[in-house]
Amino acid sequence: SSNSKPNFLRFDKLSIIKLNSSVVTVKVYGIKKGEKIMNTGNQTSSRRLLHTPSQLARNSLFYLQEIGVLSCEADFCSQRDALDSFLFLFVPRGQGVLTYRGSTYNLKPGCIVWINCSHGYAYKSSSDSPLELSWIHCSSMAMKQLCSFYRQKQNSNIIRVKELQPFMDIWDEIEKLIRNKNPGFEYEISLQLHTLVNMVTSFSQDSDGISNAASSISEKGALIKEYIEMHFAEKITLDD
């Protein structure tokens, strides 16, 4: 019946969700006990790349788990719970709402979300202006503390910037790195994620120059990247 609850069939790496006699199959990475994923409505298009990080990346770097884009149809809704991951959501177009840790946030163009996915969350697309989203699932040994610091500093898990492009440039670079997987790509991704964390954490809601701040941080990241490439075979210390 239309009032019946979704039926979840659990497997190690697969959830099959039965909704009103239609079956939606959703592949997810790293499912652990207690994790749930539920989608309702239609998505016009979706593209994602998954990555299993090396042990070195898990121990020492900011590492990527998944990157993707999603164009939603009206009233599309996605809900997840208990994922061992941290999520960046970027909103280039459309509108919707995000529910996270008892709060509801409006999603509009220019919004950036950073959340700890161990807490359940859900987002729903508007019926009038369907959402378009780009996302990054990532983690690190220090990311829980960094995400908590961001939440405290911004007094929220969401910011809205005047210029989204500097952040999308990072998204584009990470997608390119994970597609090509050239030698050292996990180090390159770590640098990009580190820059992204710096950009969202240093953002000021009252600032008129987010693009300038983003540019400054990107320049520092470029200098660090250049130094590492020049001295890759040498022993590098913090004093350097």
Question: DSSP labels for the chain?
Answer: -TTPPPEEEE-SSEEEEEETTEEEEEE-SS--TT-EEEEES-EEEEEEEE----HHHHHHS-EEEEEEEEEEPTT-EEEEES-SSEEEEEEEE--EEEEETTEEEEE-TTEEEEEETTS-EEEEE-SSS--EEEEEEEE-TTHHHHHHHHHHHHTSSEEE-S--HHHHHHHHHHHHHHHH--TTHHHHHHHHHHHHHHHHHH--TT-S-HHHHHHHHHHHHHHHHHHHHHTTTS---TT-
Distances in Å between the Cα of 5 and the Cα atoms of 38, 42, 74, 95, 156 are 11, 18, 21, 27, 31
Q: How far apart are CA 212 and CA 216, in angstroms?
A: 6
Q: How far apart are CA 220 and CA 30, in angstroms?
A: 34
The tokens of 126 are what?
């508007």
pLDDT per residue as tens, the chain (240 positions): 334 333 332 323 333 333 333 333 333 333 333 444 455 555 568 899 999 999 999 999 999 999 999 999 888 899 998 899 999 999 999 999 999 999 999 999 999 999 999 999 999 999 899 999 999 999 999 999 999 999 999 999 999 999 999 999 999 999 999 999 999 999 999 999 999 999 999 998 654 434 334 444 455 555 555 555 555 555 545 455
- Tell whether pTM > 0.85: no
Q: How many CA atoms lie within 13 A of 240 on its CB side?
A: 11
